[in-house]
Each structure stands twice: as structure tokens, then as C-alpha cells.
Structure 1
Amino acid sequence: MNALVQSLAKMSGLRDRDALDFALVQLVLDCSEGAVQSACLVRVVGEGDDRRCLTLARLEAGQNEPVRDVVWTDWTLLPHVTDYPMRQQALERVRAVHSKGAPFTGVLPLPGVPGAAALLEITSTEPLNARTLDLVQGVLQTYNNLLGLLDYGEKDALTELLNRKTFDGAFFKATADHRTEDNNQGPDRRVSSPDEGVWLAVLDIDHFKRVNDNFGHLIGDEVLLLLARLMRASFRFHDQLYRFGGEEFVILMRCDSVDHAHAALERLRLRVQEYAFPQVGTITVSIGCSVLLPNDTPSGAFGRADKAVYHAKEHGRNQVCNYQALVASGLIVEQAAENMDVDLF
């Protein structure tokens, strides 16, 4: 029991989500005293019949370190939820589901998660007793509470998008993950496009001050909230969406080419333009983007994308501008890296 308390205390001090996921599956195996043979934490992504399973952490008895799916993985490589009937049942019933025969499997939806978008799957050679199941449920509840605390500190209160203080860490993690994948191209990995990379986009609502002046700040907040929903509907599960403050938003995404990056941002721009915002009607957005460069910095990448936004606003608004394309065409002058630094905080 003392070891369990110490492990829970250690887990409560973690602030990295990957580390927290790993700590959960490790603790589930440890608290079962050998009864649990494997623990797998799964995030369910997608909608309807195209829901798929992304493994956040999986640990087998005897393994030293959990394994996980790469966050930037190709969507089509993820297995469908329907490939795992027990996972599908747990999602539909929003409660734990247990098999009746060996190998004994239990699938537990995370408590408090809307739509049960995450699941813990455990396997054992014998049926787990009530005490072990209670311990696993308690560990899962603790994990869920810690996630809630992280969300409270890392998400914007109005839009529930990520806030700016989490950006630097996510930026360096995204670039590190991308370099790691490029350096570990196995025989089964698809060949990367020369233009594949991580992209940063800055979005600014055109004439947003007029919305607040003409309709009030409550309506302005509603516009921000609805825009955040349009952003979520326009991007993939692993794209990271931020509100930096006011009417400024940031998108961190991985794309196969400059054309794919531009198409994703153009899709969002059109959705916003075509959406009827209550009372306000039509609003538009200006978007600037830049591919991340080798040894890039958050301030350098943000500065390039921000300069592209400025160009978009100065030349008609309601458009997507690519910093590298603007430089290549001679429409703007490339600035030295040390002059591109922007104080994000």
C-alpha cells in the first residue's frame, strides 16, 4: 500500500501528458500485484463509423517502458474501433465491459470524459477480484482528475483551445518528433515528400473590433467560441489549436506538402466566410503561415507567420498568405533570424 501511495504521489507531480499516460499504465500493472498482464490506454479519434483507436500508452508485464503510437501517425494506419468489439461496447454503454473467458479482458471508459473518448484496456490470465478492480478504478479516477487540472491550466477558458503558455513546449516536441521519424525510416514507412514538415499558422479575425463595438463583448465572445468550433471541425485530431489572446489564433500542424498546408488553411477560411454568425452575420479571417525550419525557434516561426498575416491584412484581408511564397515572389523581404524574434509572452 505504501508503494501505491508513493506511486500516486509521483504521478500527481507530472505535468507532461505523455509521461502521465505512461505512469498510468505502469501503475495499473503495479497495483494489481501481477494480476494484470497488460494495460493499454487508448484515445478514440474520429466520428461515426470512422472512429479509430490511437494508443497513448501500452505496457506488457515484463516490459521496462510503455510504447505508444506516434501522434503524427497517418490516420489510415489506425485501427477502427469496430475491430475491437469490447471497446465499441464500452463506448456505446459508457461503462466498463468485461469478457467472460480467458484471456480475461476489461475495457474501462475514462470517467468524466464526454462521449467516453478514452479507454483503458486491461488483460489478465484470471478474472480480477473486486479489490483489484477497485484499485484500477481509483487509479483511473486519479489520472482523470490530473488531466482535468492540466486542462484547467493549459486551455483557454472561453474557447477551450490550448493557451499560449503551452506553445513553446508543444513547438519543440512537434519538431523533435518530426526529426525522430525522419531519422528512423524503416522499410514499412512510406516515403516522405520533400516538402513534408511542420507548419505554423497565425489567424486573425478581420475587423473584430467592429464586432465588439457594434454588438458588445458578449457577442464578440460568442464569435470567438464559434470560430474555435469551426477550427476543430477543419483540422485533424493531432493538429494543435491555440488561442493566443483577443482575436488571434495559432495552428501547429504537420502536412505532406505546401499545397496540403495551404488547402487545410483555405478550407478553414472558406468555412468561416460561409458561416452565419448569430446577430453578426458574416466575418472573415486573415491567415499567415510558415513551414518550420531546421533549428527553428517558437518566436522565429511565429514572427514569419505573423508577417504573412500582416501582408494579408494590408492587401485585402480574407486570404491565406505563405511567408516563404511571399519572399520568393519578392512581395516581402526576408529578415534575418535574429531580427525575426517576437516576444510571445
Structure 2
Amino acid sequence: MLPLFPELEAISSCRDRSALNQILLRAFAHLLGEDADVALFRRDQGETGLTQCVGPTVMSAAFGAWDGLLRASLVPNLLKSEVQDGRAYGVIPLHSSEVSSAKTLIAFAADEKLLRRHEDNLLCVARVYGNHVKLLDYSELDSLTRLLNRKTFEETFERLLQAGNTEELDEDMVERRSNEDGVAWLCVIDIDHFKRINDNFGHLFGDEVLLRMGDLMRKSFRSGDRLFRFGGEEFVVILNADNESLAQRGFDRFRQAVESNEFPQVGKETCSIGFTRVSDSDIPTDVVGRADEALYYAKENGRNQVRCYEALLAEGMVSGPAVVEAPVADFDIDALFD
């Protein structure tokens, strides 16, 4: 185990999920030798795709002997393998993050003797990786909704929005980009009249509404989109779409899902959404400020709608970025427009 100490130390100290996967690939390649093929696969909604790989023949292997193993491998940290022509092929399902519904599997092809010699070490590395993913989830996810928290948004904004360099993005973000010029969009979602829910039904049912909102977000948006609970009844989504119309369609699909949902005891609820395009030179406060301005316009003009900052600016409906002060406890945005 001593030769693996640098990789294990790197896994345990890494907070960048994309870099964490690269370290895992290097650790497996270190054990299995320079002729080994090592790859990460992603299984989502029944489809399995290659996301990252190292090795001389990994692409041919990905569509060969691994196929059956990938379909059969379901239990985390359990190695399944088979031998073909003196070369061993193996797959280990990894502990997957709650950030995405997708499951991650690591697959490898190597000399059979090397695989048998290092089988326990490979499983150990997989367990260390899984435990660290759990720790990342604990620190980065909102305890109620299990969406990403505001602290994570502020810490990782630049990395999540670098549209021009896919090497620095994790596989979720890369998958979402239809081309190198993919455009990032950020929206702010606010539940309409949420304070009335807490006042009329109590905080227990208010929390249930927030939980259901998190579930609806996971179902409505794609696995590569970044979903945050920003605080209180406010949520933030970062996604990639080729143009404003496609972004609006995605956000409106979620608005309609909320409108048609029956919340326990509370009944029907709605939400308002403001969104804006993100440029490479943006900083978090500017982007959120623009989306907030579009959200305020939606609130002021009837609620239960999606508004784009750039479209409002072109129509002269907003004058420019507003300076948004930090929210105070129990601040109700709806009160501004009643």
C-alpha cells in the first residue's frame, strides 16, 4: 500500500470532483501498469457512457469486453471480472454522489496476474474514493433538500462556468455542452407567497414544500445542470443551452411542474423565475444581481412566470444591474408586490 500513499493522500484532500476522478484513474493505472486501460463510465437512466480514460487501447476496450460487465455491475465496491486471451477485464461500481442521479463505474483491462495481485488494493482505493465523496456531499449539500448549498456555489462559481475549457470541468458539465461555444445560463427561483405557507401551515409543512421543490428540480432539470438551494425559499440553477429560447424553455418546464404539483396539506403553489446569460468575465454577485432583477420584475408583474434579464433590458423594462443587499431573516420578497 505504501507506493499508493501519494494517490490516497491526494484523494483524501481533494475538493474538486473532476480532479478527484483524474486522481482515481491515475491510482488504478499506477497499480495495473503502463499497458493497462482504465476508464470511468457514467450510468444514467439506463444509458452507460464513457467519460474519462487513460491507456493505449481504452476506446476499443470500451465497446468490447467491458460491455457485459458494465451491465451486470450494480453493487458499489464489488469487483466483477473476466479473462479474455490472457487479458483481464474488470469493473467496480463506485459510491456515487447525491449531486447527480447518475452512477459512476470504473473499468480496467490489464494483465491477469497484475489484476489478481492488486485486487485488494484496487478495492481499497475505491472505498477511499467513496468515503471522500460522502464527505464532499456532507459539506457541499443542503441538509434539507440535498441540493448544493450556497457555500458551494460561491466557492466553485468560476470552475462551473468556464465554457471554453472542458478539461477543467467534470463529466456532468462536459456532457451538457453541445459544442465548445456552449452558453451558460443562471436562474434564481423563488416560491411565491412562501411566508404565508409558514404562517398558515407552520414550518413543518414549509419544509415539506422545500423538500418537494428539490425533488421537482432533480426531475425537471438534467443531470449535468447544477442545482443549489440559495437560502430560505430561493434556489439557483446553472445550465447550458445554445440560446435564450432553449434556456427559457427549460426553466419554464420547471415552473409548470411546480404549478401542476399538489403539495401535502398546502395544495397548489407557484414560483417565479428570473434568469440571465453568463459570460466568462462575470463574477457571482453580478450574475445573481441580474437574475434577481428579472425575478423582481416577474414578481411585480403577476408572479408564476419566467423572465430573462437580457430580454427585459432590450425592451427597456429594466434599467440595469441593481445592487442587492444581503437578505435579512424571514424577509418576504412577495411583500414588496402585495
TM-score (norm 1): 0.82
Q: Which of residues 239, 247, 253 is equivalent to 2:239?
A: 253
Q: Which residue in the other structure is 2:317 paired with?
A: 331
Q: 1:312 to 1:110 in 2, by over 3 A?
A: same
Structure 1: which amino acid aligns with 2:137?
D
Q: Which of residues 44, 51, 58 is equivalent to 2:53?
A: 58
Q: 1:166 to 1:113 in 2, by over 3 A?
A: closer
CA–CA distance in 2 between the matches of 1:251 and 1:111?
A: 25
1:27 equivalenced with 2:31 (yes/no): no
1:179 equivalenced with 2:164 (yes/no): yes
CA–CA distance in 2 between the matches of 1:127 and 1:113?
A: 32
CA–CA distance in 2 between the matches of 1:82 and 1:213?
A: 59
CA–CA distance in 2 between the matches of 1:190 and 1:43?
A: 18
1:40 equivalenced with 2:39 (yes/no): yes
Matches within 5 A, 1:196-211: 197-211=183-197
- For the residue of structure 2 that corresponds to 1:30, the secondary structure is helix
Shift of 1:2: 2.6
CA deviation vs aligned residue, 1:155-196 (integer Å, no higher than 9, x gap) = 1011111011111343212332x1236xxxxxxx97778xx5
Task: List runs of 5+ in structure 1 lacking aligned partners.
Answer: 68-78, 182-188
1:121 equivalenced with 2:120 (yes/no): no
Shift of 1:294: 4.3
1:231 equivalenced with 2:217 (yes/no): yes
Q: Which residue in the other structure is 1:71 paired with?
A: none
Aligned-residue sequence identity (percent) comes to: 39
CA deviation vs aligned residue, 1:22-53 (integer Å, no higher than 9, x gap) = 11111112234x287122122222x14xx232
The answer to whether the 8 Å contact 2:252/2:306 transfers is yes
CA–CA distance in 2 between the matches of 1:35 and 1:82?
A: 19
CA–CA distance in 2 between the matches of 1:10 and 1:191?
A: 32
- For the residue of structure 2 that corresponds to 1:316, the secondary structure is coil
The answer to whether the 8 Å contact 2:312/2:318 transfers is yes
Shift of 1:5: 2.5
CA deviation vs aligned residue, 1:48-102 (integer Å, no higher than 9, x gap) = 4xx23241x322279xxxx9xxxxxxxxxxx999992220111389943212323
Structure 2: which amino acid aligns with 1:84?
D
Q: Which of residues 120, 127, 130 is equivalent to 1:144?
A: 130
Q: 1:80 to 1:247 in 2, by over 3 A?
A: farther
Q: Which residue in the other structure is 1:309 paired with?
A: 295
The answer to whether the 8 Å contact 1:37/1:123 transfers is yes
Shift of 1:237: 1.3
Q: 1:191 to 1:31 in 2, by over 3 A?
A: closer
Q: 1:239 to 1:126 in 2, by over 3 A?
A: same
Q: Which of residues 59, 69, 87 is equivalent to 1:86?
A: 69
Q: 1:314 to 1:93 in 2, by over 3 A?
A: closer
The answer to whether the 8 Å contact 1:302/1:342 transfers is no
1:321 equivalenced with 2:307 (yes/no): yes
Structure 1: which amino acid aligns with 2:313?
V
Matches within 5 A, 1:145-164: 145-164=131-150
The answer to whether the 8 Å contact 1:161/1:243 transfers is yes
Most deviating of 283-292 and 126-135: 126-135
- For the residue of structure 2 that corresponds to 1:100, the secondary structure is strand
CA–CA distance in 2 between the matches of 1:210 and 1:216?
A: 9
Q: Which residue in the other structure is 2:7 paired with?
A: 7
CA–CA distance in 1 between the matches of 2:298 and 2:22?
A: 43
Shift of 1:126: 2.1
- For the residue of structure 1 that corresponds to 2:275, the secondary structure is strand
The two structures, once aligned, show a CA RMSD in angstroms of 3.1
Shift of 1:7: 2.8
Q: Which residue in the other structure is 1:108 paired with?
A: 92
Structure 2: which amino acid aligns with 1:110?
L
CA–CA distance in 1 between the matches of 2:139 and 2:118?
A: 32
Q: 1:240 to 1:40 in 2, by over 3 A?
A: same
Q: 1:301 to 1:113 in 2, by over 3 A?
A: closer
CA deviation vs aligned residue, 1:281-340 (integer Å, no higher than 9, x gap) = 1000000000013411111010000011111111111000111111111111123xxx65
Structure 2: which amino acid aligns with 1:14?
C
